[in-house]
Amino acid sequence: MGCAFGRADGVTSVNIHFWGVRGSIPTPLSSQQVRAKLIAALRRIKTEDIESDAAKEKFVSSLPWWISETVGGNTPCVEVTLKSGSRLVFDAGSGMRVMGKLSDLPSDRHYHLFMSHFHWDHIQGLPFFDSAYNPNIIFEVYSPFPNMKEFFAKQMVAPYYPVDFSAVEKHFNFHQIEPGQVLSIGGAEVSCVKMSHPGDSFSYAVVEDGHKFVYATDIELGSKDFVHTEGRSKIFKEADVMLIDSQYTVEEALRKVNWGHSAFCYAIDFAAAWKVKKMYMFHHEPTYDDRKLNTILESAVWYANYVSSSTLNIDIAREGDEFVL
């Protein structure tokens, strides 16, 4: 998996790009974490690793991802580019600001923004998204919540923000949708289902040419989520890729019942039950550094092999990563 900024529209497959994957609050790398990465790298270095520029490059490339890279600190924003070039965006966390700096504009000048819910970490990037102030760009906003415009506007008022939402609202169109409703956008079908989270949250499925991508953040999984109802089956069953809230370890999940998030092993049980092919852990705990998240990933891979006989592929969502569906 690699990064591909500034991708042109007119692609021949569905592309998914992670702009923000952290949960609850933006969490930039601290000086202590950078120092810890440097020390971890130095402990691995040998004389031959610094004999030439090529050797140095090879050494850096050989380092574990949790040393040489980071999952990132921006809150949720995931961009899906359909084969038609239509641009779907899931949530408007602080990762949306980065998307505005590094991603090309849609060729049709439209963004289709799907909101899982309106907690602050999922809306705080919108006021800092450059295209929000471009009158030639149209935003189609979708959610089962009826007060979408009001929720966006409330964070853009004095003294909290210098620009009022009324300055940009003319090129925002709001569409209240219902769970089970199927939207047709650019050759794909998009639908949603309500999940357990304080104040509710909605998971989405995008289906194009028989391939299914699921965006399932901010959910606290329970026994009812494993019951095969028509609504849940439409969203989760046999998804090719599912991005799912895996914020906690089991120990932490037991201490934070009703906080609205899931332990990574619960998410794996859920993915295995719905016969998902690949699962990305998402909405990472803000107190977990990259080393901790790598340890969780290693445990998750072992557990997935145990419960699914290696039929479920596990990875961790990292800011800047992109894959083709």
Top pLDDT among 311 and 169 is at 169
Q: How do residues 167-188 score in pLDDT, each as one tens digit? A: 999 999 999 999 999 999 999 9
pLDDT of residue 6: 38
Cβ-Cβ contacts under 8 Å for 115 (sequence gap 6 or more): 91, 92, 122, 123, 141, 142, 143, 145, 148, 202
Longest Cα separation, the chain: 63
How high is the mean pLDDT of the chain? 94
Alpha-carbon span 90 to 96, nearest angstrom: 10
pLDDT of residue 311: 84
Contact 312, 300 (CB under 8 A): no
Q: Is 201 helix (H, G, I), strand (E, B) or coil?
A: strand
Contact 3, 325 (CB under 8 A): no
Q: How do residues 77-123 score in pLDDT, each as one tens digit? A: 999 999 999 999 999 999 999 999 999 999 999 999 999 999 999 99
Instruction: Find the mean pLDDT for residues 110-138.
Output: 97
* Tokens found for residue 206: 């995008």
Residue among 43, 20, 58 at smallest CA distance from 215: 20
Which residues pair with residue 13 across a beta bridge? none
Contact 94, 195 (CB under 8 A): no
- Token pair 């606290």 is found at 220
Within 168-221, strands assigned E span: 172-176, 183-185, 188-195, 201-208, 211-216
For 308, the enclosing helix (H) or strand (E) is helix 290-308
pLDDT of residue 70: 97
